[in-house]
Amino acid sequence: KQWYQRRVAITAGIVGVIVTHMDTVTWTGEEFLPWIEEELGLGIEDVIFSGEDTSYSKLLGDIHSICKDPPYKMTIDHENFLRFFKINNNQVKLIKSTNRAVDSFKKMKDGFEEIKKAFSGKDLIDLLFEFNTWMDHQILVAQKKMTEENNFTFYGESAANEAGHIANMTNQLKAILYDIRVETAGVQSEHGVEQARRCPHCNEVWFKIEGCDGSTTCGNRPSQHAIIDVRDPSFGVLGTYTFKWNSTGLTITKTGTKDIRTKGQNKKGENKKSFGCGKSINWKAMPLVELPSDLKEAHRVNTDDVQLLPDSLAGASGWNREVDGMLKQKGKSLKTEKARNGEGKAGSGYLPWV
């Protein structure tokens, strides 16, 4: 799980699992598959099982059957370089600084787990989203604090070691944030959209959220419609919270609300503006329209947006540019060497299956 979380930025969709020693267990592969998603939440769909009685040809055939073409091209930059490679030393002072930050982050989450027990329903959902945003910001706070406490400049002979320690700490914080985001994603309402159909009279495209598959009129909107959750218009108004962390622990205070309904909606979540042509239509008889990709594909939780060494840290932008330049130059050298050795087009090939 930790390997996948640190590399998901460039391996999402191309990572699989091989479960070995199947001859030593009593459960079957079919029983194990749901556990992978339930317990790990990795979004990994390709799983192969093997044991002593699995032949070489069978295992190789199973792997080839799910390998995707064309070969995956992997580009390394300063960001995922720090995700893949550990470049920091074991200096005790810096390890302790990292441990303090990680320990505080864990205590923030533990404190939240206790406090949230007093919330339920919509308030709990709003609280989860606000806490996720706050914890996201706390990673940047921890990065700046570690930089200042240890006088990091990301310049000179110690630059790589300093960047490595920041990345090491951030990777551990991102693992905690990942669990928070998994929980947050679990309370998001499913959009419930399986089909889109086009009005044969005016070409307006519709999603059916409620009602039957028979006759209606073009423009007949759901009785209650909110921008965030089609189940309840109250979800168009979100609760806002203030989080404070100090030596006594985490405190949370509800500070107000924010209205995110569109200008075309009233307080009930109903749309004031009219849509459609008003002519009679039959849902089943209307032409199908391909769903947008963001509705067809399941959302995979990740922390790719959290930078391991953000440019906002004093001196970090210079180190990032230098590493990108070095990696780019190394890539050119490898291409030249492969071309000289007649190895074909450089940069293409399969990543190891893990």
For residue 153, the SS3 value is: coil
Say how far apart CA 134 and CA 125 lie, in whole Å.
14
Question: What are the tens digits of pLDDT across the range 312-340?
Answer: 999 999 999 999 898 888 877 877 777 77
Q: How far from the centroid of its chain's Cα atoms is residue 108's Cα?
A: 21
Residue at 29: amino acid letter:
G
Number of DSSP helices (H) and strands (E) in the chain, helices first: 9, 9
CB 19 within 8 A of CB 46: no
Higher pLDDT, 342 or 113: 113
Say how far apart CA 236 and CA 260 lie, in whole Å.
5
Between the CA of residue 1 and those of 68, 145, 274, what are the distances in Å? 22, 28, 49
Tokens of 280: 């009679």
* pLDDT of the residue at 205: 85
* pLDDT of the residue at 340: 74
Position 85 confidence tier, pLDDT thresholds 50, 70, 90 = confident
Tokens of 253: 């205070």
Question: What are the tens digits of pLDDT across the range 185-228?
Answer: 877 654 455 678 888 888 888 877 666 777 888 887 665 443 34
Residues counted in the chain: 354
- Name every residue whose Cβ is closer than 8 Å to that of residue 77 and which is 6 or more positions away in sequence: 323, 324, 327
* pLDDT of the residue at 173: 95
Q: Is the pLDDT of residue 7 over 60?
A: no
Q: Is the pLDDT of residue 128 over 60?
A: yes
Average pLDDT over the chain, rounded to whole?
77
* pLDDT of the residue at 14: 61
* pLDDT of the residue at 209: 65
* pLDDT of the residue at 349: 39
Percent of the chain residues topping a pLDDT of 90: 30
Tokens of 329: 């130059």
Burial group, residue 68, by CB count within 10 angstroms (0-12, 13-18, 19+): exposed
* pLDDT of the residue at 289: 80
Write down the pTM of the prediction: 0.62
Q: Is the pLDDT of residue 112 over 90?
A: yes
Tokens of 7: 């590399």
Question: What are the tens digits of pLDDT across the range 31-71?
Answer: 877 777 666 555 566 788 888 888 888 888 888 887 766 66
* pLDDT of the residue at 351: 37
CB atoms within 10 A of CB 122: 15
Between the CA of residue 246 and those of 32, 105, 107, 111, 133, what are the distances in Å? 43, 12, 11, 12, 18
Q: Minimum mean pLDDT among 120-124, 174-178, 243-247: which range?
A: 120-124
* pLDDT of the residue at 350: 38
